[in-house]
Chains A and B, each alone.
Chain A
Amino acid sequence: MTHPILETRDLTVRFGGHVAVDAVSCTFRTGELCAIVGPNGAGKTTYFNLISGQIPASAGRVVLNGQDITRAGVSRRCDLGIGRAFQLTNLFPNLTVLENVRLVIQSKRRMGFALFSTAASHVELTNRAEEILDSVRMMPLSGYKVSELSHGNQRKLEVALLIALDPLVYMFDEPTAGMSVDEAPVVLDLIARLKAQTDRTILLVEHKMDVIRSLADRIVVLHNGALAADGAPAEVMASDVVQEAYMGKELDIA
């Protein structure tokens, strides 16, 4: 049940002289929800980009399910089981909500190169997309264009796309960013349900400490691009390095 699914070994990226992610070695297990925390500029999103392939690594490796994917492209990694949601909403704005989800399912079933059948004739894709939308209670919005949705609903759809993709590793980059206090729990609830219902690995970049406390099995702390702490939530939160790096508290020099 808890065998390693994703591993980064000395994963490093340099932009010019600046080391954005510095030799981060970390192993993630199936069924685990791991929160990745750190102050702004700590390299959390960059670390995510290295794992999902948006930027190439300068050094080190990414291993998914025993397979080295360090050199694989973004779409290949997606095929192999990396699913990524983005910090800034990143959808297909002029397509309908249903079409957004349908495209993900179509990709998962590798039907993108079907040229001579109409998309509407593949009822099974539409049905599955509607199931997903129903499960996140967005079915009433299915006919709207994404650009017509509220920010909160766009964030929700972002999560729905990942659920439709059902990857081995779910990667959420600040899923509640920019959401109101009323809206955020809806998205967090979706992630909590996901955690309860599957044994997929979930990586979550998040700032809200209460969220992390209630959801995470484990916390990884990044600081200046390097791994600063890694362990169970209570233990990591109490550690000096987190108190200093993340909470901004000065260390008492004894």
Chain B
Amino acid sequence: MLVKLLSGDSPRSPLLALILLAILIALAFAPFLFPGIRSVDTAARICIFIVLVASYDLLLGYTGIVSFAHTMFFGMGAYGVALASVHMGRGFDALAVGTLAGAALAAVFAFLIALFSLRVRAIFFAMITLAVASAVAVLVSQLSQITGGEDGLTFLIPRELTPAFRFGDELFGVRLNGKLLNYYLVFLASLALFLLLLRIVNSPFGRVLQAIRENDFRAESIGYRVVAYRTTATCISAAVAAFAGALYAVWIRYVGPDAVLSFDIMLDILLMVVIGGMGTMYGAVIGAVLLLIAQNYLQELMGLGAGAFEGVPILPELLSADRWLLWLGILFVLSVYFFPTGIVGRLRQGR
């Protein structure tokens, strides 16, 4: 049963299995294990980024395509939900329509970009995605009548998903309100999407993608139309990224260029996929958890450290909370140096 859910792709390392199980349990019971607005918010972001990074891994790790437009697809899903909710009024129908429209738009964009660039050489794809993503980001911030411009859009989601909705008293000291339902919507949808991606990479189609990554020339000569496979993978990846974007919009109830389209998100995705391990899917889980926790808690941890070393020369300055990016950078360099195949790759080698 479990093996079937994982599509036969087991973690293949006891330690990795243990870590993944711990992450699954932590995320499944996050509102109860880590009560508090901020920690639940971090947990929801982790769920969403796992899907986003996994969908990127389908492209980069499995097909060997570099794309810089993943944030754009993410943003399309988010804006889809926001615009539908603004124009159709709050409701689950608006969420569904917005999500599907966003995913469809993302797939169409991916299809067009792929058609124009993948026929030639994969490197052009990277450049074109960069250009299109920048153009779309500028467009979104300029078309303020439609998109709210730089300010973005705040919108209402169904009442059942907001803290105002109560459906019981407390359970283990946690308020049973719409925010809790919202978290579980995010968690379950993310889990389903992740399992779907895991299935796709382990399907006959996924094997073709790996063959293309290994040797596209030979894949073509044993009868696979490489362009068609690359294009399909790009569309799937874009649509799933849009789903992740829709979940994100529902969770934060706001969209704006900085929140869902900024290039920083693209960099985060790249870091997560590389640190976690490309071409493994599970790498997305490890990468997203590690980086988001670092981003959210490293600053505080360092603040504590700085306090502890007060009076010692240099150390407090080095550990000052403002230097957190420096440490994140050092962590990244070290992890790439010591785990060139990512953390998952390293754990699997260590068998």
Closest Cβ neighbor of A94 among chain B residues: B214
Of the residues B206, B214, B220, B225, contact of A92 by C-beta under 8 Å:
B214
Q: Which residues of A contact B8 (CB under 8 A)?
A: 118, 120-121
Q: Are A78 and B207 in touch, CB under 8 angstroms?
A: no
CB < 8 Å: which of B199, B205, B223, B226 contacts A108? B223
Contact mask A61-102 → B, CB, 8 Å, 1/0?
Answer: 000000000000111101100001010001111110001001
List B residues at the A interface (Cβ < 8 Å).
Answer: 7-8, 199-200, 202-208, 210-211, 214-215, 217-226, 229, 232, 236
**Contact assessment for A91 and B218 in the assembled complex, using a CB-CB cutoff below 8 Å:** yes
Contact of B222 (CB < 8 Å), options: A104, A113, A114? A104
A29-78 residues with Cβ-Cβ distance < 8 A to B are 52, 54, 73-76, 78
- Interface flag for A119 (CB, 8 Å): yes
Partner of B203, one of A84, A90, A115: A115
A103 within 8 A of B: yes
- Identify which of B219, B222, B225 contacts A73 (C-beta below 8 A): B225
Ordered by A's residue number, 25 sampled pairs between the chains whose C-beta atoms are within 8 Å are A54-B217, A73-B225, A74-B221, A75-B224, A75-B226, A78-B223, A86-B221, A91-B218, A92-B215, A94-B214, A95-B211, A102-B207, A104-B223, A107-B222, A107-B224, A108-B223, A112-B205, A114-B204, A115-B199, A115-B200, A115-B205, A115-B236, A119-B206, A122-B204, A125-B204
Q: State A165–B221 Cα separation when bound (angstroms).
A: 10
CB distance from B335 to the nearest CB of A (A): 22
Asked whether A229 is an interface residue with its Cβ less than 8 Å from the other chain, the reply is no
> Which A residues are in CB contact (< 8 Å) with B7?
118
User: Which residues of A are found within 8 Å of B215, using beta-carbon distances?
Assistant: 90-93
Separation of A229 and B226 alpha carbons in the complex (Å)? 38
The prevalent SS among residues of B at the interface is: helix
* A residues less than 8 Å from B202 (CB atoms): 118-120
A105-139 to B contact mask, C-beta < 8 Å, 1/0: 01110011111111111100100000000000000
User: Which residues of A have CB within 8 Å of B225?
Assistant: 73, 75-76
Chain B proximity of A136: nearest CB distance (Å):
17
- CA distance in complex: A237, B218 (Å): 34
The 8 residue pairs across chains A and B that have the minimum distance between CB atoms: A78-B223, A92-B214, A107-B223, A114-B204, A74-B220, A112-B208, A75-B225, A120-B8
Q: CA A106 – CA B229 in complex, angstroms?
A: 14
Output the least CB separation between A187 and chain B (Å): 18
| Complex Cα gap A119–B205 (Å) | 8
Are B222 and A116 within 8 A (Cβ)?
no
Contact call A112/B217, Cβ cutoff below 8 A = no
Say yes or no: B203 contacts A99, CB within 8 Å: no
Residue from B204, B210, B217 within 8 A of A95 (CB atoms): B210
A interface residues with partner B (beta carbon < 8 Å): 52, 54, 73-76, 78-79, 84, 86, 90-95, 99, 102-104, 106-108, 111-122, 125, 161, 165
Once the chains bind, are A103 and B205 in contact (CB under 8 Å)?
no
- A114 proximity list for chain B (CB < 8 A): 203-205
- Residues of B within 8 Å of A79, CB to CB, are 223
Residues of A within 8 A of B221 (CB): 52, 54, 74-75, 78, 84, 86, 90
Residues of B within 8 A of A78 (CB): 220-223
Distance to closest chain B CB from A234 (angstroms): 34
Contact indicator B223/A99 (Cβ below 8 Å): no
Q: List chain A residues, Cβ under 8 A from B206.
A: 119
Closest to B7 in A: A118
Which residues does chain B contribute within 8 Å of A54, judged by CB atoms?
Answer: 217, 221
Contact A119 B204 (CB under 8 A): yes
B57 to chain A minimum Cβ distance, whole angstroms, is 16
Residues in B with CB closer than 8 Å to A86 are 218, 221
Report the nearest B residue to A107, measured CB to CB.
B223
Distance from B1 Cβ to chain A, minimum over Cβ atoms (Å): 14
- Within the complex, what minimum Cβ distance (angstroms) separates A227 from chain B? 25
Give the distance in Å from the alpha carbon of A79 to the alpha carbon of B221 in the complex: 9
Give A116 to B205 CA distance when docked, in angstroms.
Answer: 9
Q: What is the bound-complex CA distance between A71 and B15, given in angstroms?
A: 53
Given contacts A75-B226, A103-B208, A117-B203, 15 further A-B contacts (CB under 8 A): A75-B220, A75-B223, A92-B218, A95-B210, A99-B207, A102-B207, A103-B207, A103-B219, A112-B229, A114-B205, A115-B200, A117-B204, A118-B202, A118-B203, A121-B8
Bound-complex Cα distance A86 to B220 (A): 13
CA distance A231 to B200 in the complex (A): 52
Distance between Cα atoms of A114 and B210 in the complex (Å): 14
Q: With A93-B214, A103-B211, A118-B8 in contact, is A111–B204 under 8 Å at CB? A: yes
B344 shortest CB reach to chain A, Å: 15
Complex interface: chain A residues within 8 A of B204 (CB): 106, 111-114, 117, 119, 122, 125
Residues of B within 8 A of A118 (CB): 7-8, 199, 202-203
Q: A102 contacts which chain B residues (CB < 8 A)?
A: 207
Q: Is the CB of A90 within 8 A of B214?
A: no
Q: How far is A111 from B229 in the complex, measured between Cα atoms in Å?
A: 12
- Hey, which chain A residues are within 8 Å of B223, CB to CB? 75, 78-79, 104, 107-108, 165
Q: How far is the CA of A121 from the CA of B207 in the complex (A)?
A: 13
Max count, chain B CB within 10 A of own CB: residue among A102, A103, A108 = A103
Contact yes or no, A95 B222, CB < 8 A: no
Contact of A95 with B224 in the complex, beta carbons under 8 Å: no
